[in-house]
Chain A
Amino acid sequence: MKKVIIIRYAEMYLKGKNRGFFENAFVNNIHRSLRGYEYELIRQSGRYLICGFEDGYSAEIIEKLKKVFGLHSLSLAYEVDSDMDSIFEAAKLVAKPTGTFKVISHRGDKTYPLTSMDISRKLGGMLLAENHTLTVDVHAPSFVVYVDIREQGKALVFGDMIEGANGMPVGTAGKGLLLISGGIDSPVAGHMMAKRGMNVEGLHFHSYPYTNMQAKQKVIDLATVLSEYTCGMHLYTVSVTHIQEAIHEKCKPQLMITLLRRFMFRIAERHAKKIGAQCLVTGESLGQVASQTIEGMTSSNSVVEDLPVLRPLVGFDKSEIIERSVKIGTYDISILPYEDCCTVFLPDYPAIRPTLKEILAEEAKLDVEGLIAQAFDTIEKIKI
């Protein structure tokens, strides 16, 4: 029996005249995520069908599609001739071995001899006669058999609705530069922005030789998982070793993180502009660590000249962030123990509420522009 995958899209149906723009991006992203598989994508009103794939790959294809933003739900359906006997054969495969059920029918082909109600009633009866452990419950069934009568004498029969990633198609909401570390939070932040349709590129700061190859590889591995949702991405890495050394040499130790973050934001904004990104995205969550207090955020924000800094996790608890990271598949990588920021220079007690005056006084001891230029000399681009 031929199988097809029904794809229903999410919020895009709210769009009016520019709906085509959203749908094009959606279709491109589907093709991208299914690269390497043989299939055909057919557009129908309000949904898409994937057909022509080898039966053995259907589970893999569904897993890939579940990561495409803009997709509301999908179903694996049987495509059969639209006579009731053929529909019944497919319905037997879709039905669970026991429990309560109902049949919901829909006629795309209005010339079909039975009405939707008739189809449901008849098929329900056939299923009941076949399997005596089933009972009908039209209010709260344990499963549903869907029948969709299409043109040209064909019908689709399916059971489960598999939830998609929802959101908007990536590529429809501009481009952001994600400041990504090896931790739990930043990949989740990137995922959330991609969910709203944003193209996400990554920027990672490392301090080799104070940190090692494993730490860098960990970020590459995180970006690789994230890229399944973001439809590919580039990861840029920049060394801030010399900046940490300069701060260590000249400034108050408790301001190490505050000052370092100001450098990171400056570098990030300049790099974002270079690659055409329209905002910075960080995984900061209010009060999670000393540098993520409102004072800390104010201090790093104040060096960003034009671009907005988006912090999608700002109001999240750690447990909520962890839950999401488990769900998207980055958690197990994030908790590997490689340090991705040099802890050698970290103070025992960082400043929690640094004043801008104090920060500026310390920063004045440094050649800010020179250090930034030096950082840009170390930039590497990795295609994920």
Chain B
Amino acid sequence: MMIYLDNAATTKPNLQAVERARVYLTDNFYNPSALYKEGFAMQNDIKKARSALLSFVANEREFEWVFTSCGTESDNHAVFTFAKRGNAVTAEGEHSAIENSFKELQNRGVEVRKAPLEKDGSVNVEKLLSLIDEKTSFVSVMHVNNETGAINDINAIAKAVKQKNPRAIFHSDGVQAYGKLPVRLEKEVDLYSVSAHKIGGLKGVGGLIKRKSLVLSPYIYGGGQEQGRRSGTENTFGIMQFAFAAEQKYAAISADFARLSSYREKFWELLDRDIFTRISSENASPYILCLSAKGLRGEILLHLANDEGLIIGTGSACSSNAKTRYSRVLKACGYDNETADGELRISFSSETTEEEVERGAQILNAVARKLKGKMN
């Protein structure tokens, strides 16, 4: 049986949620925009799902939820509808959806400013705030770093940003936080991106949470779904399955958080310290443990572990292109090429068992020792 510890890349769909939503594939397939009662019923079900998904992280009086196709779309929607003038501020080491959107902003003539990272991958808040001035139109800081798991206190950062410039729009990519961290959004956070498939939902469903009073112009035009903010026929099955999966996650969110914190520590305890160094801090999301096997190549370990029945992730690749070879995130944390080359990302889900943690660490130790033996 393959042990899957690359849950930050995607998770196995929650099959209970798939079962509960199955009726939306079979009987309730109608277009939610249709006028007959079958269609209208779909609209009501989506409304319930929307309200539930939002209620887990935010107050429904102050926030609302727009369905999108993925986290990347949500990020793009936020960036390109709000960062239109002056300067836009973000940090190094953001997810590619933000990183590359900001590159495009630059092409479009918006000044881009980037704050450096701390060693653990969190944003250097002081430096970030120093980049914000009266011309800043948009600020984006991810909630949980997808490689190191570092958590940014986005409520506090948003508050501080608004103190410097109340008109700046604050966005956060919450893809690795939603359904995992027991956090609620405060009113200073204007926009928050979410994705279904990181918590047992399906690929192809995402959300953009927005402060209610914020006017969000559409990014995709068409039939006027999502109150005109995001056109396109709703993915009813995907939306309902996401809501059911999220419901389960939030029912156990604190217990999972505590359990996975102990799993992550256990995994680390079991690892060979002569080979592995830890990049994720103890305050990081318990769902992610970022390591480096310095002097060994992360991708080779990935393949070796794969052949032994363990699936893990890495930030680097055997690429002859130096720009794509080393993890951009680890470089931004200040690590050298060798450490970045040895990066491995172990990421858990609420489905992960203690046996998998133990066996996974054993396999990783074994393949790393074997490779080290061959390299010397």
Using a CB–CB distance below 8 Å, which chain A residues touch chain B?
A: 208-212, 215, 245, 248-249, 337-339, 343-344
Query: Does B37 reach chain A (CB closer than 8 Å)?
Result: no
B302 nearest in chain A by CB position: A209
Q: Known contacts A212-B318, A245-B374; is A337 also within 8 Å of B300 by CB?
A: no
Chain B residues positioned under 8 Å from A338 (CB to CB): 318-320
In the complex, A211→B304 CA distance in Å? Answer: 11
Chain A residues closer than 8 Å to B325, beta-carbon distance = 337
Q: Which A residues are CB-close (under 8 A) to B297?
A: 210, 344
CB under 8 Å from chain A, chain B span 312-333: 317-321, 324-325
Known: A210-B297, A215-B318. 10 other contacts (CB 8 A): A209-B300, A209-B303, A209-B306, A212-B299, A212-B317, A212-B318, A337-B325, A339-B319, A343-B320, A344-B297
Q: Which residues of B contact A210 (CB under 8 A)?
A: 297, 300, 318
Interface residues of B in 281-319 (CB under 8 A from A): 297, 299-300, 303-304, 306-307, 317-319
Tell whether, in the assembled complex, residue B303 and residue A208 are in contact, meaning their CB atoms are under 8 Å apart: yes
**Which chain B residues in 359-376 approach chain A with CB under 8 Å?**
374-375
Complex Cα distance A343/B321, Å?
Answer: 13
Contact A249 B321 (CB under 8 A): no
- What's the interface size class on B, roughly? 10 to 19
Interchain Cβ contacts under 8 Å between A and B, 12 examples: A209-B307, A211-B318, A212-B317, A212-B318, A249-B374, A337-B321, A337-B325, A338-B318, A339-B318, A343-B318, A344-B297, A344-B375
Cα-based distance from A344 to B318 in the complex (angstroms): 10
Q: Given A215, A249, A344, which contacts B300 in the complex, CB threshold below 8 Å?
A: A344
Bound: A337/B299 CA distance, A:
15
Nearest A residue to B303 by beta-carbon distance? A209
B304-A209 in contact (CB<8A): yes
Residues of B within 8 A of A248 (CB): 374-375
Contact of B303 among A212, A343, A344 (CB under 8 A): A212
Docked Cα-Cα span, A210 to B374, in Å, equals 12
Q: Which residues of B sit under 8 angstroms from A211, Cβ to Cβ? A: 318
- Docked Cα-Cα span, A210 to B303, in Å, equals 8
Minimal beta-carbon separation of B131 from chain A (angstroms): 33
| A337, B320: Cβ atoms closer than 8 Å | yes
Q: How far is the CA of A227 from the CA of B58 in the complex (A)?
A: 58
B residues within 8 A CB of A343? Answer: 318, 320
Q: What chain B residues lie within 8 Å of A245 (beta carbons)?
A: 374
- A339 and B374 contacting across the interface, CB-CB below 8 Å: no
- Collect the chain A residues with CB atoms within 8 Å of residue B320's CB: 337-339, 343
- Rounded to whole angstroms, the CA-CA distance of A212 and B324 in the bound complex is 15
B374 to chain A, nearest CB (A): 5
Cα–Cα distance between A192 and B325 once the two chains are bound (Å): 34
Q: Which of chain A's residues have a CB closer than 8 A to the CB of B319?
A: 337-339
B301 to chain A, nearest CB (A): 8
Q: How far is the CA of A374 from the CA of B324 in the complex (A)?
A: 34
Chain A hits for B375, CB < 8 A:
248, 344
Distance in angstroms from A347 CB to nearest chain B CB is 14
Instruction: Give the residue name and chain of the B residue nearest to A210 (CB).
Output: B300
Residue of B nearest to A345 (CB): B375
What 10 A-B pairs come out closest when comparing CB atoms? A209-B303, A337-B321, A337-B319, A337-B320, A339-B318, A209-B304, A339-B320, A245-B374, A209-B300, A210-B300
